[in-house]
Structure 1
């Protein structure tokens, strides 16, 4: 057993009761106990977050261990090393003196080393007649020997926690991707369901993920995200068994017939009236289809919509439709209002209108009411998307110069009736 009483540090350095308990613990090391010094050092590195020490402090500990001549720590070989600050700084990769002293104090506070100061504070060893070291003053590595088992256990716990965090984070990423793509497919293909409410739940969950999460942060979010994914899959499964998806998409008016960005998207009229016959109250007269414009023109007139696309970009009509759903939820537009707009304007035009509303959100009191008003005007043949885009281009001259000529040619016959 290690002999020697509790010692106090030299000079103005104070000693705490924790330091005293650490010295008493090292005095109880079992006789003959040994441990590989580099194994216990690796364990201390693995458990550094629990011990509360930095990488530079571990570099200093590594340098201290190089002054211990044997590969295994044991009482029989002595446990005190006594390098000067200059020697220690060289082996610690040239660390500055003030930084060296700060990290030595951190190692003492973490209970990895102990000070064994001489009467004058110098570090040295006193040898006997046989040339063997009888007593040494410097830094004792006894805590590493005494805490070897504890450090190994801490290292295993940290490694297991890291694996658990990695697995949980990967599972959340996969589940988040599944929910996003299932929602997009359900909305774009016109599946029946309250997808706006479900999307709101999804956005709320993703908004709760912190920038630097821990396992405790993401585990409850993962549980809720998995439940949301199961709900979506169950709804889609029930619908597939009950009716054909394509017919639902046509009834909702949100099925995409043509995703070519240069094509004109036209709606089939809701009813056809025979020549000379009066329309019944249930049948609305046929109206002119709303013209669709190239995606590039819409994005130049409404650049803000890009931020809400998948991965922060809009590169296709499919991306614009997804972004419009996000914006619709953000601006508080009800799912019924947006579905009605899809039915009257067409899916692509409704998405373009949402992009325009986003651009002018600061001037519109109620985005939902404004969308319904535009939809009613379109149903009466009093609304066209061209003047709206032109107005936004006039407000954004850099975008307008690129496409004004093309829009003027396309909308030469459309009256400028757009207004707020």
Structure 2
């Protein structure tokens, strides 16, 4: 090595244990060891956050390395470079002399170079008669050789942390996208749930992220969002299964259709007679506690239900019941609540109630609670569909004042007066 003892800095610059430790570490390098100087420099650039140096400091180190004539730092040669401040300023892209001194001090403090000061503080080399350098004073690059493995490990750690941060951001981004789109899908499908609270939970989790999060911060938020995503998937799965079950029940129910195309079509139900009403009068049927109103009257009072039938307008009771199942889902009414209403009111009357609720959807705060209340009243015999239907007929102003409309009104009045 080029020094065999610990040297102190020139002038008023103090000596420190860190400086002595760095010199002793540089002295411990084996003679035959060498390393590519630019590879070490790249490792220093990667490890810059751990070393606590700036990019301008790296520019000064790059200038110092450019004055070392060999491509490899080797313990067999002198690793002291002795450029003047003017030469360093030129190769460091013209930085000011005060800035140069500050960054040279930063390199020394970081343990990347060692000052080897002469008696008067000047930088120079004393050569032999043969022209070889006998002794040199300036900056020793020996710490770069001594710490080459440490610097390489630091660079690898920085790269690993960078990759971990990138992966954490990618996973969080995917999870955020999943939760956001699952919430949107649930709202579009009308899935029942407290979506205001779910939205607030989603926003609260994201608000926990600091301005410059690390991988652990991102992973912590991601785990919370993954739990929320699992809950959303379970909600959507249960909702989808309930829709399939409801659709299967409706599709598998047998129905009786008269050979007369103009007569009404009734689903087979324990509370509904299997004969159809004559189309000329469309009188109301009464079967015990339950009454089946003319389908034409129902459609006149609730025209919006036609929009929820595939393949055209409603032509029979089966179409109405099928459309009611779709509207039930849209209103956020659970299958259990709807089946309870079917048991209390009859499937046809429950479908009529759903059609009436669709007409007044903007005025009903809790469709499920509203239907449960009507089902309880129907089970006690305290609820009649007639006033609800006629109120909607008058509200929509679509009842024709011809013979057909008069017939429907009289049919309703006959049922209302004699059916109880």
In the other structure, the counterpart of 2:66 is: 66
In the other structure, the counterpart of 2:211 is: 211
Cα distance in 2 for residues equivalent to 1:97 and 1:194: 66
Cα distance in 2 for residues equivalent to 1:248 and 1:214: 49
Q: Structure 1 residues 287 and 129 mapped into 2: Cα distance closer, same or farther (>3 Å)?
A: closer
TM-score by length of 1: 0.60
Question: 1:78 offset after TM fit, Å?
Answer: 0.7
Cα distance in 2 for residues equivalent to 1:231 and 1:291: 28
Q: Structure 1 residues 248 and 90 mapped into 2: Cα distance closer, same or farther (>3 Å)?
A: farther
For the 8 Å contact 2:11–2:121, the answer to whether it is kept is: yes
Note if 1:250 corresponds to 2:250.
Answer: no
Q: Secondary structure at the match of 2:182?
A: helix
Cα distance in 2 for residues equivalent to 1:63 and 1:7: 24
Cα distance in 1 for residues equivalent to 2:165 and 2:179: 21
| Structure 2 unaligned blocks of 5 or more | 248-323, 333-352, 371-390, 393-420
Cα distance in 2 for residues equivalent to 1:85 and 1:343: 85
Residue-by-residue CA offset, 1:14-67 (whole Å, 9 max, x unaligned):
122111111111110011110000000000000000111110000000000000
In the other structure, the counterpart of 1:323 is: none
For the 8 Å contact 2:113–2:140, the answer to whether it is kept is: yes
Residue-by-residue CA offset, 1:375-397 (whole Å, 9 max, x unaligned):
xxxxx99xxxxxxxxxxxxxxxx
Question: 1:242 offset after TM fit, Å?
Answer: 2.2
Residue-by-residue CA offset, 1:51-110 (whole Å, 9 max, x unaligned):
111100000000000000000001222100000000000000101111111111111111
In the other structure, the counterpart of 1:24 is: 24
Question: 1:211 offset after TM fit, Å?
Answer: 2.1
Runs of 4+ in 1 over 6 A off after TM superposition: 245-249, 286-292, 341-344
Note if 1:175 corresponds to 2:252.
Answer: no
Question: 1:135 offset after TM fit, Å?
Answer: 0.7
In the other structure, the counterpart of 1:153 is: 153
Note if 1:115 corresponds to 2:115.
Answer: yes
- 1:351-362 residue pairs with structure 2 within 5 A? none
For the 8 Å contact 2:327–2:358, the answer to whether it is kept is: no
| Structure 1 unaligned blocks of 5 or more | 256-282, 293-336, 345-379, 382-420
Q: Structure 1 residues 79 and 248 mapped into 2: Cα distance closer, same or farther (>3 Å)?
A: farther
Cα distance in 1 for residues equivalent to 2:56 and 2:368: 61
Q: Secondary structure at the match of 1:134?
A: strand
Question: 1:338 offset after TM fit, Å?
Answer: 10
In the other structure, the counterpart of 1:55 is: 55
Q: Structure 1 residues 131 and 164 mapped into 2: Cα distance closer, same or farther (>3 Å)?
A: same
Q: Secondary structure at the match of 1:76?
A: coil
TM-score by length of 2: 0.60
In the other structure, the counterpart of 2:237 is: 237
For the 8 Å contact 1:2–1:28, the answer to whether it is kept is: no
Question: 1:196 offset after TM fit, Å?
Answer: 2.7
In the other structure, the counterpart of 2:195 is: 195
Give the length in aligned residue pairs.
276
For the 8 Å contact 1:73–1:79, the answer to whether it is kept is: yes
Cα distance in 2 for residues equivalent to 1:18 and 1:121: 21
- 1:341-360 residue pairs with structure 2 within 5 A? none
For the 8 Å contact 1:252–1:343, the answer to whether it is kept is: no
Deviates more, 1:70-79 or 1:54-63: 70-79
In the other structure, the counterpart of 1:5 is: 5
- 1:195-344 residue pairs with structure 2 within 5 A? 195-244=195-244, 250-251=327-328, 340=366
Question: 1:2 offset after TM fit, Å?
Answer: 5.5
In the other structure, the counterpart of 2:303 is: none
Cα distance in 1 for residues equivalent to 2:331 and 2:78: 81
For the 8 Å contact 2:2–2:78, the answer to whether it is kept is: no
- Which of 1 and 2 has greater Rg? 2
Residue-by-residue CA offset, 1:124-160 (whole Å, 9 max, x unaligned):
0011222211110000000000000111111111101
